[in-house]
Structures are given as C-alpha cells and as structure tokens.
Structure 1
Amino acid sequence: MADNFVSSSSDESDVECSSNGDEESYKAINDVLGYQFEPKRTPTQRTEAVIEESSNTDETSAADRVGNTEWCTCSNCVAMDTQIESRCCMERPQILTKMEEYRDQTDSALSCMTEHPGFTANCLNPWVLEVAYLQYRQQDEETLELAQNEIYRHTAYRQLVRWCWGIVGRNNRVTLPSCCVSKIRNTFPNAEGVYTGFRLPVL
C-alpha cells in the first residue's frame, strides 16, 4: 500500500498519485483534518476559558485579590487564601445566568447569588443535602468518612456546580464564588474553623 504514492518532496502538497491512478484514495487520505471529531466547547465554556485566561494575564492584579475583597461587587464575598478562589458571583457567567432567569421570572433583581431562593433550597437545606449525598455516593460508589457538616459542605458545593454548570464530569473542577463558599461554610461550619479550599484533581 505504501508503494501507491510517490512523494517528490517532504511537502504534502507535492505528493503525486502513482501510475495506478488511485486519485480517490489520495483525496480521502489528504482530506482528513486533525481534531475534526473532538468535542467543541460550548459558548459557556468559551466564556469561562476567557475569564480564566484574562485572570491569569495580569499577575499583579491577580495577586492583589488575595487577602482582600476589593474585587467583590456583590458585597458578600470574604477574603480568600488564593487568587483562584477570590471570585465574586458576579464574575461567573453560569451563576449570572441563574440570577437573570430569576429576575425574568419574578421581576426582582438579586445583588448576590446567596439571595437566590434556589441557592437556599439546593445548597443550604440539610434534608435536600442528605438525599443529594446519597445520590452522589451511589454514583461514585464511595463512602466519605467525614463529619456531618463536612458532608453537608462537600455536597452543597457539588449541588451548586450541578445546578449552575450542569454535569461537568469527573475530575473537572469549578472554582466557586467566595460569597457562596462563605455562606455554605457559615451554615455548616467546621468546629476548628479549618477548611480545605479549592484543590485541583489528582490525575
């Protein structure tokens, strides 16, 4: 099969068909485009990527976010330990979408995601979190040996991601807004006041 084609140079545009006239095979081989079967980013993912990239372009402004809340526009964020966690709900397109949906349905604007009744119902209601935790355990086939409030926090974070981002897939992590994380932590506190914070997945 390798003898069917003769190249006059290393440039693919110079490849010529052999004397057997197998032009259709040549066309089929050379019309294959790399990555043509890869899934495409959704508009939301593209927006998210732009935000992530723009936040990393200016290291000075990124470092300025740590330890203060000057970047917060909802007035409910708290100072976080890392730049990646120092995000306001108003900076997250997926969360803004939920807030806009609420505004359209009720003619009432929200100044922060933590004011959304859906946030309270999905992320702060212990009975909802208990059922959601059982569902996650069934899907993941793992049992977390955690204190009750830690289970609630862990599940509440997952609920917020599922509600606003949909199914992101295993090992795909989303940084949640400081205001939402703070509200969840205050509702289900750690007795020692020690929290893990955002961690990248172990691949």
Structure 2
Amino acid sequence: MIETVSEQRLRELFVTMLEKYPSLVFDVLEPAPDRPDHGHPPPAGEGVPDWCICGKCRIMRKTIEEVCCRKATCLTLLADFEVLILDEAVLSLARKYRQDMIRADDEADDNNRANRHAAYRQFILWVHGRLGAGQRRVIPSCCVWKIRDKFPDAWGQYTGFKPDRFGD
C-alpha cells in the first residue's frame, strides 16, 4: 500500500507524524550503520568528554554526574525539551502546582534558581515519570548544562547531584 502513495503524500504524513510524536525524530535521525554521525561541535572553549555520545556534554564536578543522554541527536535538541523543560511559563505552572501539593517554598528570591530546580524536576518527570520519595536519577550532563545555561547561577555555584536526601 505504501508503494502506491505519492512521495508528496508520504512527506505530508511524515510531517504530521513528527508533529504528533516529536520523539520519533530520534528514530529517524539515528545514523545508519554505514553512515557514522560525527556529532556536534563541542561547547566553546571545551572539548567533549570521552564518555559523551551526543557531543553536547561538558565536564562534570562529580564522577557520578558523568552521564550522557546517549543519543546521536542530543535530547536537548528535541522540541519537547525546549517546551517542557526550558519554557518559563511551563516551569511557573509546575512550581505553582508543587507549592499547592507539598507546600514547598518557591525560592522566589532567586528566579533563575527556582526555574533551574523546576526544570530538573520536569526533566525527571518527562524521562522517568513520577519517582517515589528518596528515588533519584542523574540527569545527563548535556541536559544539566542546557538548563544551567538558560537559568544560570549569578556566581556559577551549583550543588550537583545528591544520591539521596542526606547526600554529600
């Protein structure tokens, strides 16, 4: 049946599918075995760590944080990442919801910090779903740095991953 559909119609169907299911772009853009992907250029002033697959990771302070999204086309390039993780309106709504649910402080004195922490929580929810109390996951370096670049700390001071609530 596919062979009878015009090329133009196949293109239209493909665009519609990507609009409805943007994560399919990873399946489409994965390099073919005979066509290696050369990745993306490293961030300015830094080389790509040897543990990075996507080409967007940077050096992390702790060994446990040396995690890559492991995609030939980095997760940070996905439209869903931009909307769900970096959009300030989405983060504001997520922060309000969290305040209502657990009566958490909003960190209103530092908007970038509040947005950065909300973005980390959004990423975990997006990739892993709701985690139970005390359950933590390392966020890939590429994603951490994309969030930090968008919502930087004025002094460049970041806590980093804590294995549990009482971690170092």
TM-score, scaled to structure 1: 0.55
Tell me, which stretches of 5 or more residues in structure 1 are unaligned?
Answer: 1-66, 91-95, 97-109
Residue number in structure 2 paired with 1:84: 64
Residue matched to 2:94: 132
Partner Cα separation in structure 1 for residue 64 and residue 84 of structure 2: 24
Q: Quote how far apart the aligned CAs of 1:175 are.
A: 0.3
Kept after mapping to 2: 8 A contact 1:87/1:178:
yes
Letter in 2 for 1:147: D
- 1:163 equivalent to 2:126? Answer yes
Residue 179 of structure 1 deviates from its aligned partner by 0.1
Give the C-alpha shift of residue 171 in structure 1.
Answer: 1.8
Query: Which amino acid is the alignment partner of residue 130 of structure 2?
Result: I
1:71 correspondence with 2:71? no
In 2, Cα distance between equivalents of 1:70 and 1:117:
26
Distance in 2, matches of 1:115 and 1:151, equals 23
Looking at structure 2, the residues matched to 138 and 162 of structure 1 have their Cα atoms a distance apart, in angstroms, of: 17
Alignment check: 8 A CA contact 1:68 1:80 kept: no
Identity percentage of aligned residues:
38
Distance 2:61 2:48 in 1: 9
What residue number does 1:19 align with? none
Q: Deviations over 1:5-62 (max 9, x none)?
A: xxxxxxxxxxxxxxxxxxxxxxxxxxxxxxxxxxxxxxxxxxxxxxxxxxxxxxxxxx
Whole-angstrom CA distance in 1 between matches of 2:165 and 2:54: 32
**Residue equivalent to 1:200:** 163
The Cα shift of 1:144 comes to: 3.9
TM-score by length of 2: 0.66
Look up the match of 2:40: none
Q: Which has the higher helix share?
A: 1
Whole-angstrom CA distance in 1 between matches of 2:148 and 2:63? 19
Paired with 1:121 and 1:144, the residues of 2 have a C-alpha distance of 21
| Structure ID, larger Rg | 1
Deviation at 1:201, TM superposition (A): 2.4
| Alpha-carbon separation, structure 2, partners of 1:166 and 1:134 | 19
Following the alignment from structure 2 to structure 1, what is the Cα–Cα distance between the partners of residues 130 and 78? 21
**Relative CO higher for 1 or 2, CA cutoff 8 Å, sep ≥ 6?**
2
The whole-number CA distance in structure 2 between the counterparts of 1:124 and 1:69 is: 24
* Aligned match for 1:176, one of 124, 139, 157: 139
Alpha-carbon RMSD across the aligned residues, in angstroms, is 1.8
CA contact (8 A) 2:48 2:56 kept: no
Deviation at 1:68, TM superposition (A): 6.9
How many correspondences in the alignment? 119
